[in-house]
Every structure is written in structure tokens, then in C-alpha cells.
Amino acid sequence: MILQQDLSIVSNKVIAKDTYEMVLEGDLVQQIKRPGQFIHIKIGEGFSHMLRRPFSIADYSLETNQLVIIYKVIGEGSKWLSKQSDQSFINVLGPLGNGFEIDHLANQNVLVVGGGVGVPPLYALTKQLSQRNDVKAVLGYQSSDSVFYEEKFNKYANTTVATNDGSYGEEGFVTDVINQMQNQVDYYFACGPLIMLGAIQLQLRDTQGLLSVEERMGCGVGACFACVCEADNEKGYVKICQDGPVFHSNEVTLYESIS
């Protein structure tokens, strides 16, 4: 069930360049079904900011009633969020979207690929996948100061970090790392910029996978048709907020839209 609720901020701290980790607590957490779902956060006081901002859930615990989001300060909304202090409340709509379906996977070689702010939802996913599968994670960042969560991922997956400028880990894009991989991949998961998702979908086109897609959103619940994406289904489109944000690699074709 989708709830609209004030969640309390347990912590809100910098973990990399312009990148914050925020821990939120409240009963809404009990409604989270699986990794890859997201929350829609109200920004500011009154009606100065009419659109909520969607953030993927990086981690959650039904025991502690807490969830984690990781966000980069880019515009006014994320700047406002970064200034919110511990113990204050923010208004959250969620959990939204369907997330990563992983119940069918066991004893598989799984590849998890994240780029920048696309990395967060893969963390809870990797934790859960690692219980029954062999997981390899490839995480791409701009440079050494923007790297986050490497050690956390390492606990659950054989993790390789790549930076665009080579200042940390492998030099280049996540696709360069995947190119050099020897082991066979049975299934993959990816989240990141559209251009990265398209490149991976093309690179791994003979492998089944799930892609988490982002788009600027309006309502977040499927009513406004702001975040649609062309799809290979009867309707010809999917709504990213409601039908996604995770889609099967057969369903959405991302590499055509970026070429």
C-alpha cells in the first residue's frame, strides 16, 4: 500500500563529493516489498515546490523501521534536502514502483552494474541476491572523490570500481570493465544514466536482465503520464513510476533511443 507520511530523519551526512546518505524512520518502511522501489519526497515549506522528488531506496530494514536514500546535490530540491537536520521530519509518498523481482534466481552468476546515482538501489538488491547467488558488482563513478559504498558492496559481492578519469579503480566506463570479464553471466541488473543502460543492454543483449530506468516525474503514481518510455508491449509504452521503474531488458529498448 502507498502511504503519505512524515518520516523522521535519523541521519543526513556527506559520504562522497556532493553526495549524501539520509536515514529515515517510520511505519511507511513496513510497506516496502523489494529492492528497487522508490519514495517521492516533498520539498520545502508550503507550495513553493510543487513537484516531489523521486529517490530510490538504497537499503531498508523492517526490524528497525528505517530506510536509506543516497542523493547527489544537483538542484534546488536536493540542496534543500541536504540542509535538513537530524530529528526533523520530511513528507514521503511511497513506497512506489515495483522494484527488482529476484525470487526466481538461485545459484546463478549474477552481475550488478551501477553508474553514479544509479548505484544506490543496487545495494539492497545485492544484499538480497547474495543470499542465494554468486554476485559480481561493477560500479562506475566520475572520479575518486565521488566513490561511495564500495566496502559495503564488497561484503556481499566481488566488486570492481571504475572511474571515468581513472583516479580510482579501473579507468573508463562500466562497459569497459564488463568487456574484460571472463566469467559467464546468467542474469544482470543495472541502474544508471540512460546512456549507460542503453550501452549495457546492447552489450549484454544475449543475457536476461532487469534495468531500473529514471525519468523526471510528476505524480509518481501513474496518473499524469509525465514519465513514459516506449516499450514492446500492447500499449506501446510503460509508465516508469507505476509499471517500473524496473523493466525487463526485453520490454524496453533503451539503446535505440540514445543512438
Q: Which is nearer to another protein, 77 or 169 (CB)?
A: 77
Indicate whether 145 belongs to the interface with another protein (CB under 8 A). no
Looking up cell 547474495, which residue turns up? 130
C-alpha 132: how far from chain center: 21
Phi and psi at residue 118, to the nearest 5°: -85, -10
**Rounded CA gap, 25 and 28, in Å?**
8
> Which listed range, 50-58, 81-89, 118-126, 204-212, lies at the site for another protein (CB under 8 A)?
50-58
Give the binding range for another protein (CB under 8 A) out of 54-62, 111-119, 160-168, 220-228. 220-228
Nearer to another protein, 25 or 215 (CB): 215
Residues 223-242: x where in contact with another protein by CB under 8 A, - otherwise, as a string: xxxxxxxx----xxx----x
Task: Fill in the DSSP letter of residue 160.
Answer: E
User: What dihedral angle (degrees, nearest 10) is formed by the CA atoms of 206, 212, 213, 215?
Assistant: 180
Residue among 230 and 232 whose Cβ is closer to another protein: 230
Dihedral (CA of 245, 174, 209, 231) sign? positive
- 48 makes contact with another protein (CB under 8 A): yes
Considering the rule CB under 8 A, would residue 52 count as an interface residue with another protein? yes
Comparing CA positions, the residue from 5, 70, 52 lying closest to residue 32 is 5
Part of the chain binding another protein (CB under 8 A), chosen from 25-33, 124-132, 135-143, 216-224:
216-224
Q: In whole angstroms, how close is the CB of 214 to another protein at the nearest point?
A: 11
Q: Are 33 and 2 in contact (CB under 8 A)?
A: no
Q: Which residues bind another protein (CB under 8 A)?
A: 1-2, 4, 42, 47-52, 77, 93, 215-230, 235-237, 242
